[in-house]
Structure 1
Amino acid sequence: MRRSFLKLAFAATALALVSGCATGVKHDQMASSMPSLKAGHGRIYFLRSASMLGAAVQPDIRLSGQVVGQSKPGGFFYVDRPAGNYVASTSTETEKTVSFNLQAGETKYIRSSIGFGVMVGRVVLEPETPEKAKAELGSLSYTGTVAAR
């Protein structure tokens, strides 16, 4: 009986972890159908590596106070915005922010990752290099609902 309980507990835990990862169209499958930038706009990608660490922690990501998506393991989304200064933020136990300037025609990449917290994992936002982001994007799933333009 104890062995059956352990198997059931393991299966439930595995299902919970797997269901936390992003599913959907991969970047490579949708890249050719993504809209081009409007004049005076830039694109901001938000991405998170596929990892079981903190998979259940999926807080909203805000851009200058407006929710634009969620930090989901194995996922990415993007928003197009007019050139200007922006602050991306997210919070669990504490709020984490990253500030940046977006130029017209420019693409920025912001990585979210999970760090250890007291009660729940803390999400950290940081700029990512285009080289590293592009190398990983192909394996990530689109988690946006409608690509903001």
Structure 2
Amino acid sequence: MKRRLALAATLAAAALFAGCASGPKYAEVAKSIPTLKAGEGRIYFFRSSSMFGAAIQPEIKLNDQVVGSSQPGGFFYVDRPAGKHVASASTETEKTASFQLDAGETKYLRTSPSFGVLVGRIVIEIEEPAKAKAEIEGLSLTTLTKK
């Protein structure tokens, strides 16, 4: 009986952590992140490592182009020309965040799960740089999607 309970607990833990980002930590890749090109800004997308809503990992779009996905414990970044941008994530509804990106500027967009009617949702919010940088330090780089 104890053996079955231990096996069940192990399988449950594995299922929970299977959805978490598993790439290199920010500290491991920080020095290899390239400098910005002239006229571009950088957008970091990140999600805390909370297990709440871990199974909900929709694609993240920037101006209707898929740039990555919202993975618990993960972050990724994209460089884009200065101008107006709209980030979005869809499950049962689409949630968006619109913002102006200036040349040389870095924006931080937090993706986080929330309750929905049938399925959970991912909300996208612009985060303060100091708070975002502190959190990204402990997150893992997820796959980058090229332009």
TM-score bracket relative to the smaller structure: over 0.9
Letter in 1 for 2:53: G
Cα gap change, 1:117/1:5 in structure 2, threshold over 3 Å: closer, same or farther? farther
CA distance in 2, matches of 1:8, 1:50: 24
Identity over the aligned pairs, expressed in percent?
62
In the alignment, what sits opposite 1:87?
A: 86
Following TM superposition, by how much is the alpha carbon of 1:111 offset from its aligned partner in structure 2, in angstroms? 0.2
CA distance in 2, matches of 1:26, 1:45: 14
In the alignment, what sits opposite 1:125?
A: 124
User: Could you say what secondary structure the match of 2:144 adopts?
Assistant: coil
Following TM superposition, by how much is the alpha carbon of 1:7 offset from its aligned partner in structure 2, in angstroms? 4.1
CA distance in 1, matches of 2:83, 2:120: 31
The worse-fitting range, judged by mean Cα deviation, of 112-121 and 61-70 is 112-121
Mark the runs of 5 or more structure 1 residues left unpaired by the alignment.
none
What RMSD in Å do the two structures reach over aligned CA positions? Answer: 1.5
Aligned pairs, number: 147
Cα gap change, 1:64/1:117 in structure 2, threshold over 3 Å: closer, same or farther? same
- Once the two structures are superposed, residues 11-36 of structure 1 have per-residue CA deviations (whole angstroms, 9 ceiling, x without a partner) of 32211111111011111111111111
Contact 1:78-1:144 at 8 Å conserved across structures = no
The two structures have a TM-score, normalised by structure 1, of 0.92
- Once the two structures are superposed, residues 75-111 of structure 1 have per-residue CA deviations (whole angstroms, 9 ceiling, x without a partner) of 0000000001000000111100000000000000000
Superposition pairs of residues 1-149 of structure 1, within 5 angstroms: 6-145=5-144, 148=146
Mark the runs of 5 or more structure 2 residues left unpaired by the alignment.
none
The two structures have a TM-score, normalised by structure 2, of 0.93
